[in-house]
Structure 1
Amino acid sequence: MGIAIGVVSTLFIYPKDTEFLGIIRYIDGAAQLLYPVLVFGAAQTMIHFYPIVSNSNKHLLFKYGLFTILIMGLLVSSLLISGYFLLDYENYMYLLLALPLTVMLALVELFKRQATNLQKLAVPTFYEKIIPKVALPLVFLLFLSHYLSLFGSIWVYIFSYIFLMVLMGIYVFKNMQFTFDFNFKPLFAEVSKKSYYQYSLYVFAGSFGSFFAFRVDSLMIPEFLSFDSAGIYNIGVTLASSIAIPATGLFALYAPVVSNYIKTNDITALGMKYRETSKLLFFIGAVFFGSVVVGVESLFELMPSKEKLVQAIPIIYVLGANVLVNMATGFNTEIINYSNYFKFNLQAILTLVFVNVGLNLFFLTQTELGILGVAYASLIAMTIFNIAKTYFIYTKFQILPFDNSFFKLFLLLTVLVLVIYFLPNTSNLWLNVCAKTISFGLLAVILTYQFKLVFSVNEWVDKLLRKFNIGR
């Protein structure tokens, strides 16, 4: 559903005003930069220590996260508001508007992690992935119809996140016992403050660095090019990131499972789950990305805003490959984060901060590639990051996310995409889109099933066949 909403909005709504889209994404980017400061690692720290604290102290981990967000929120708000009177910066008002969004993102992150610990993730994930995707196109339509001003539209977008936070909070509190006792002495009698803050600090630095390593483009493009260019780039980002929606859910779901495998030193089971999940995620991502590759050019030619959309096609290809690389390497971040080697993630991310920011500056100032150069910078950074993490996990745990069937799957789907992409087109654009995307999707599932390359795919297809009393 998230993919469908994102695709429809990107094709029919966002191209109508790419400058407004660029402004919204600039505010969102600023909030994404600031919210790790408010959380200060408390959300992931909660999962890290959850398996080893007593039942009576598990709820205190969550409460301490709320306490952290409150204190850091007051500090960041004071600094930002003071900066408004001290700094002369053209876009500073947008940074102030990012402040309430930052608080909501921090609370949503904490609620999501607590829902993960409670194994009640489906509903919060649904809220998180659907509400913003519904809210933004609605805000767009109200703005384009002149029912809302620019700032009125921004505030409605912010209120959608307040609504999201309230729904997630209600759901989490409904599924846990919560009291207003904020005595944290029992928690820190069981977990040393030094260990807690050390892990929180590393997680915070990693999260903060991740923005500069992978999402700094949302702030750099408006500064070096324009909000309009940022909007066109975001069209590519939206379509490419839609491919990753299944991965987001699986990564969140497996976080406590990975943590438990590591705490119990069950590396054999961890390796099996690592390979199984990597193949599944690569298959899902490759099917979505392959469908985009074989059909997007004809589809965009049919759209009323095709001039804006066509500009985004190279961005979609590069960023789609970027997402696929991340999915193919599985939950390597989670393995490192919940092990004793969590410091490596910080070292890798801080290195990539310089790599990605440097590449962005190079492409934006030394080449004529514009937003395509920014996409290349993101792909290079993500590939280096995932290769480094995969190699590190192998040296420490002797496990890899790949096996022989993974490479067979990669070869099969690559050949299939190339064959269908280069098939002759007809003069009917709708026929091209439907024939190529449906053919690719069906052949990908059938061939993967026949060669038994992904266990989950065979399991799902067999269940479907049994339901209709077909074949096996």
Structure 2
Amino acid sequence: MSNKISQKQAFFFTIINYVGIVIGVISTLFIYPNDKELLGIFRYIDAISYVLFPIMLIGASQALVNFTPKLDELHKKKLFNYSIFSILIISSFILGLLFIISFIPAFKGMKYVYFAFPIALFLAFIELFKKQATIIQKIAVPTFLDNIIPKISLPIIFLLLMYHYITFSQSVVFYIISYGLILILLTIYLHKHFKPKFNLDFKSLFNEVSKRDYYQFSMYAFAGSLGSVFAFRIDALMIPKFISMEANGTFSIGVTLASALAIPATGVFALYAPIISNYLKNDNLSELNLKYKETSKLLFFIGALLYSCIFLGIENLFMLLPTHENLIASIPIILILGFNVLVNMGTGFNGEIITYSKYYKFNLIAIAILIVLNVGLNLLFILYFNFGIEAVAVASLLSMVVFNFAKLLFIYKKFKLFPFDYNYLKLVLIFVMTLGVVYFLPKLINEMYTLVYKVSLSLLLNILIIYKLKLVYQVTIWIDRIRNYTR
């Protein structure tokens, strides 16, 4: 596998994700606020689906990335086949278990779990196929399918349900079908670039890969994935339980808008996963350390640039919208979770380094810390202090800071890799100072003028200063190319 990342794939990955974000943001601003309780229900079903699908995978997708570099072409296909086979077996077991417990009176109210199961099954296969597409550096189309279709289907379903063209049960069926459509199209695309020969003879595969190593890695990856779901999606499970579905909808609006910050990181992390795996297997730590620092600075630059725009302009933007009364409650959530995303971006691909190293078991410790902190702080803030959904966002932020700090310390101790340097500190100081200066500038005569001038000034100052000081290598290269092209 080449160590050279496909810049074209990365570009299209980012563009597609931002198209999806634009669609999601438009829906979040103009459609979803009209019925936040309904939105809360759909997000609750989503959260259950994201709990179930890692159980169906049992680490198969991560194991595919981890063990593929060791195999020849024949056994790469066998490993892919085995991953599919394992998902089918485990999903059948889960379905049987759900069928059995449906006869127990205490579980009669589990309709949302039954709605979530088929979505989870589709998600498991989608995740596996996306990992295979990542391995062969073909992520643009899978990203398009996975990001665009749900963001188009849910608003349409939402409107049809709001205006009583369909029932709630029908809306869920259509939502499930949308994920099935993603899987069908993804299967067709992947088959054009990767043609596995399906059979159930896996003996030669496990002569090449130790069964013990495979299952051990898969179980730890599974525990990490499931832990991540509980750590990062616990809010959508706890808010309906302890507050309300409407509050879950309000929180979901904040999550959707804050998640726009994470798209550049998602593309970089997905593309670097097989590269990091190779660096570690070849013990190429010097090159890995260089990429670690470069990527961390780049992601912090992009994240801080976007976060500054949100911080300065979100209230003015909302006041211009017809749904502003239903959106205002989400502003604190957006700002807190946006900073949460910035922290995660700014620490680089530390999770990937641990996952694809021999110390991957540490992910369990880090995830356990995150779960305990997140759940504990949520319960403390909601039940004891009765703070509401803003406290849920604060709990996520505090947990994320500790989570990333623990991973940074571990990586430095084991590999002597560190994402920060003197230029990184300069970046942080520049963004803090420009944000403070622009924030305290006077407002103009209306919301639109204030929004445009403050956001534009923030962008101009940050990009100009950072370019002149040459703090981020990739930014310097990009701007130089633009200048040369326009001459």
TM-score by length of 1: 0.97
Letter in 1 for 2:113: L
> Could you say which residue in structure 1 is the equivalent of 2:131?
113
CA distance in 2, matches of 1:126, 1:466: 32
Change in Cα spacing, 1:424 to 1:89, as seen in structure 2 (3 Å) is: farther
Shift of 1:433: 1.4
Does the alignment pair 1:161 with 2:172?
A: no
One-letter amino acid of the structure 1 residue matched with residue 236 of structure 2: S
1:74 is matched by which residue type in structure 2?
A: S
Which position in structure 1 is the counterpart of 2:170?
A: 152
- Deviation readout 1:47-95 (Å, 9 max, x if unpaired): 1111112222111111111011101110111112222221435751111
The structure 1 residue matched to 2:56, chosen from 32, 38, 58, is: 38
Corresponding position: 1:369 with 2:387: yes
2:361 aligned with 1:343, yes or no? yes
SS in 2 for 1:413: helix
Question: SS of the counterpart of 2:196?
Answer: coil
1:438 partnered with 2:479 = no
Distance 2:80 2:233 in 1: 28
**Equivalent of 2:291 in 273, 277, 280:** 273
Deviation for aligned residue 1:6: 2.0
Question: Does the Cα contact within 8 Å between 2:227 and 2:368 map onto a contact in 1?
Answer: yes
Mapped pair 1:225 → 2:243: yes
1:424 equivalent in structure 2: 442
How far apart, in 2, do the equivalents of 1:135 and 1:246 lie?
Answer: 24
What do the CA deviations read for 1:376-431 (whole angstroms, capped 9, x no partner)? 11111111110000110000111111111111111111211222122111231111
Name the amino acid aligned to 2:302.
Answer: I
What's the counterpart of residue 53 of structure 1?
A: 71
Which stretch shifts more, 389-398 or 241-250?
241-250
Structure 1 residue corresponding to 2:31, chosen from 6, 9, 13: 13
Partner of 1:353: 371
Do residues 135 (structure 1) and 153 (structure 2) align? yes
1:199-219: CA deviations, max 9, x gaps?
000001111111222211111
Please list the CA deviations of residues 417-471 of structure 1 after superposition, one character each: whole Å capped at 9, or x if unmatched.
22212211123111111222222223222222111111111111111111111xx
- Aligned residue in 2 for 1:333: 351
> After the TM superposition, which residues 91-110 of structure 1 pair with which residues of structure 2 at under 5 Å, given as runs?
91-110=109-128
Contact 1:214–1:381 under 8 Å retained in 2: no
Aligned counterparts of 1:53 and 1:180: Cα–Cα separation in 2: 17
Separation in 2, partners of 1:299, 1:286: 19
1:131-184 residue CA offsets vs partner (Å, 9 max, x unmatched): 222222222222222222222222212211111111211111110122122211
- Counterpart in 2 of 1:321? 339
C-alpha distance in structure 2 between counterparts of 1:7 and 1:278, whole Å? 26
Q: Distance in 2 between matches of 1:252 and 1:312?
A: 29
Cα pair distance change 1:303/1:88, threshold 3 Å: farther
Q: Distance in 1 between matches of 2:101 and 2:179?
A: 25
Paired AA for residue 228 in structure 1: E
Aligned equivalent of 1:177, options 175, 183, 195: 195
Counterpart-to-counterpart distance in 2, 1:393 and 1:339: 10
1:70 to 88, 97, 100: 88
- Aligned partner of 2:5 in structure 1 is none
1:85–1:272 CA distance, 2 compared to 1 (3 A): same
Contact 1:61 1:187 in 2 (8 A): yes
Amino acid at match of 2:80: F
1: CA distance between counterparts of 2:169 and 2:439?
43
Q: Percent identity?
A: 49
Distance in 2 (CA, whole Å) between partners of 1:365 and 1:428 is 41
Matched, 1:256 2:256: no
Do the aligned partners of 1:2 and 1:245 also contact (CA within 8 Å) in 2? no
Deviates more, 1:103-112 or 1:352-361: 352-361
Deviation string, structure 1 residues 293-347 (Cα, Å, up to 9, x no partner): 1000111112222222111111111100110110001110110010000000012
Alignment pair present for 1:447 and 2:482: no
**2:398 aligned residue (380, 385, 408):** 380
For residue 84 of structure 1, what is the aligned residue in structure 2?
A: 102
**SS at 1:23's partner residue?**
helix
- TM-score calculated relative to the size of structure 2: 0.94
Partner of residue 202, structure 1: 220
Unaligned regions of 5+ residues in structure 2, if any? 1-18
1:28 equivalent to 2:28? Answer no
Aligned residue for 1:114, secondary structure, equals helix
Paired AA for residue 447 in structure 2: L
Q: Distance in 2 between matches of 1:195 and 1:373?
A: 41
Change (3 A) 1:276 1:91: farther
Instruction: Give the whole-Å Cα distance in 1 for the aligned partners of 2:166 and 2:435.
Output: 44
Runs of 4+ residues deviating >3 angstroms: 87-91
Shift of 1:374: 0.7
Change (3 A) 1:91 1:448: farther
CA distance in 1, matches of 2:481, 2:95: 53
Distance 1:189 1:3 in 2: 44
TM-superposed CA distance for 1:254, in Å, is 0.3
- Total equivalences in the alignment: 469
**Which segment drifts farther, 132-141 or 310-319?**
132-141
Given candidates 134, 142, 161, the residue that maps to 1:124 is 142
Alpha-carbon distance in structure 2 between the residues aligned to 1:89 and 1:299: 45
* Structure 1, unpaired ranges of 5+: none
Task: Give the direction of change, closer, same or farther, for the CA distance of 1:90–1:183 in structure 2 (3 Å limit).
Answer: closer
1:284 maps to: 302
Which stretch shows the higher mean deviation, 432-441 or 330-339? Answer: 432-441
**What SS does the aligned partner of 1:185 have?**
coil
Aligned-residue offset at 1:286: 1.1
1:300 maps to which residue? 318
Letter in 2 for 1:73: S
Hey, what does 1:467 align to over in structure 2? 485
CA distance in 2, matches of 1:126, 1:278: 25
